[in-house]
Amino acid sequence: MKISREVRIGVFGMITLTLFIISVNYIKGKDLFHRHRVFYAIYDGTSGIQDAAPISLNGLNIGKVTDLGFLNDTSSKILMELTIYDPVFIPSNSVARIFSLDLLGTKNVEIVFGDSKIPAEDGDTLTGGSQMSLSEEVNKQVAPIKAKAENLLSSLDTMVTVLHSVFNSETRKSINSSFISIRTTLSNLENTTYNMDTLVYGQRKRLERIMFNIESITENFRENDEAITNILSNFSLISDTLAKANLAGTLSNVNSVLSRVDAITTKIDNGTGSVGLLVNDNALYNNLNKSAAQLNALIEDLKLNPYRYVNFSIFPPSKKRMEYAEPVK
């Protein structure tokens, strides 16, 4: 049976159209010969992801991105169509996260499972998420370091300026002089330590005797510890006795006596009474002085010439012997 030319052209056109549709869908990442599920996710931005970007789960490809577009005419959000070919269980609260696959910035979509026990159905919308790219991560980590480095450089510049202004020629001269003084001081210290070492070496025997004496003293203290304890106990008893004694009354009596003595001395100073007259009256003092001198002369004469005053003789003494004569000094 001969097939007409029109039929052959129609069949060829249908085959060509079918192959074209299959090719276009394959290029878009759609596999018409495998069972698949379609999910959607909404993002604020695509982060540079393209159509046919692979979708992975724990590093295994399970689908492709099959469409990208705005959510609607009045929104700037991006609606992404995700075609999953693997029949793996996907929880309904899973996250479709855009991440960087390599250092070149190639973007992929990763399914991050949630904890829901309800599976996501075909046509459901998953939660969209985005991971910062490597460059963004690096910038985020480097930005604080950059700020600190700038602050450090600024501080170093300020410090160098200050050092330059401080360490001028005069300051350098002063520092040199200070080092010379330090060197001299260290030399003097070395001489002093040498002299001390010589002194200690020369007085070694005396130091040994001193240390021996100190050791003997401490040994005596140790041996007489009980006696020292008794002495301290006696002191404690004495202090307790003094504390219990009526010191206030005694001090009051002493103050009273001192007041009376002060009154007596005041009267003597004022010339009141016999003692006051004796102390303050010069004429009385002189008369008493003269009387004492005359009494002394009388006693001296009595010693030298007792017969003038006491006579036991039958015959009276001569007039010449009875006459008074000044004693020879």
Angle at 318 between CA 314 and CA 320, to 5 degrees: 155
* Rounded CA separation 267/176 (Å): 81
Quote the crossing angle between the two packed helices 273-280 and 282-304, to the nearest 10°.
Answer: 90
**Letter for the amino acid at 48?**
G
**What are the phi and psi torsion angles at 243 (to 5°)?**
-70, -35
Residue 125 lies in a domain: yes
DSSP code at position 162: H
Whether residue 154 is contained in a domain is answered as: no
Write the CB contacts of 313 (distance below 8 Å, at least 6 apart in sequence). 307
Residue 138 lies in a domain: no
How far is residue 3's CA from residue 15's CA, in Å, rounded to a whole number?
A: 17
Phi/psi class of residue 236: alpha, beta or left (left: φ > 0; alpha: ψ in -120 to 50)?
A: alpha
Q: Is residue 188 part of a domain?
A: no
Answer for the pair 56, 62: CB distance below 8 angstroms, yes or no.
yes
Q: Which of 66, 117, 69, 128 is nearest to 95 (CA)?
A: 128
Query: Tokens in use for 231?
Result: 């002495």
Distances (CA, A) of 224 to 111, 218, 274: 92, 10, 62
**Using CA atoms, how far apart are residues 246 and 259, in angstroms rounded to an integer?**
20
63: containing domain: 34-131
In a domain, 323, yes or no: no
Residues 6+ apart with CB under 8 A from 61: 54, 55
Per-residue pLDDT of the chain (329 residues; tens, 9 = 90+): 566 777 778 888 888 888 877 776 666 555 555 578 899 999 988 777 888 888 888 888 888 888 888 988 888 898 999 988 888 899 999 999 988 877 676 788 899 998 889 999 988 988 888 876 666 666 777 778 888 888 888 888 888 777 777 666 777 777 788 888 888 888 888 888 888 888 777 778 888 888 888 888 888 888 888 888 888 888 888 777 766 666 677 777 878 888 888 878 877 777 676 666 666 667 767 777 788 887 887 777 777 776 666 665 555 555 555 555 565 55
The answer to the question of residue 62 being in a domain is yes
Distance between CA atoms of residues 252 and 258, nearest Å: 10
Residue 38 lies in a domain: yes
Q: Name the domain count of the chain.
A: 1
* Domain CATH number, residue 73: 2.40.30
| Total-model pTM | 0.37
Instruction: Give domain status of residue 53, yes or no.
Output: yes
Task: Give the model's pLDDT for residue 246.
Answer: 67
